[in-house]
Structure 1
């Protein structure tokens, strides 16, 4: 089976090592994925150069989303492994814009990956 991320050749943002695209199944308007150009399964397998390149794209992505959508906040997340929810085994970072009122009570943020642990 081929990797869907390895087949992408049109990017919203890119550098020599990484790129960003809009998520096909966005959590919110403007949801970006930042992806390494080299096929690497998990974040922890990246080189320091790849992590730095992804971070550069992450900040450029925030600038783009600030200009286009003016979100009120962001969630940044990486799923590492099947039990953590990873479904495409090519490292990618989610940059999810958040908007006031998009959920009733946002407290807990990324802790919501286990819903009963979100509110504390």
Structure 2
């Protein structure tokens, strides 16, 4: 990458909607239809670099994103989260939250959800 933040220099066609807090984008490499990114306007690497009030505003935008996704796609569930730091898999160093719609049967067994980032520890319920 050339050092420029891809979330600070957005092409208008990549923006789904925005407000005074942040912008909501369609993920460039979606894991499901409707996979969205909620990005604060302020450039900080970590969500936790934002003041608590700004974090709350961003979570309100996540709620609005989920509501709009529900209307548009009617998914059966969601994975919502963030990768905070390189060790956690963060590749764009601008705080953002993933909102990933999920459907019944989109994978054979969704139990464990985000726990599958470390597969050996995901199956906490044991083999049945």
TM-score interval, normalised by the smaller of the two chains: over 0.9
Equivalent residues, number: 120
User: What does 1:1-120 correspond to in 2, within 5 Å?
Assistant: 1-8=3-10, 10=12, 11-120=15-124
Bigger Rg over Cα: 2
RMSD: 1.1
CA-to-aligned-CA distance 1:10-37 (integer Å, 9 cap, x gap): 3322221211111010010000100010
Partners of 1:118 and 1:13 in 2: how far apart? 34
Partners of 1:62 and 1:17 in 2: how far apart? 16
Higher mean alpha-carbon deviation, 49-58 vs 97-106, is at 49-58
The normalised TM-score by structure 2 is 0.89
Contact kept, 8 Å, 2:21 with 2:61, in 1: the verdict is no
Mark the runs of 5 or more structure 1 residues left unpaired by the alignment: none
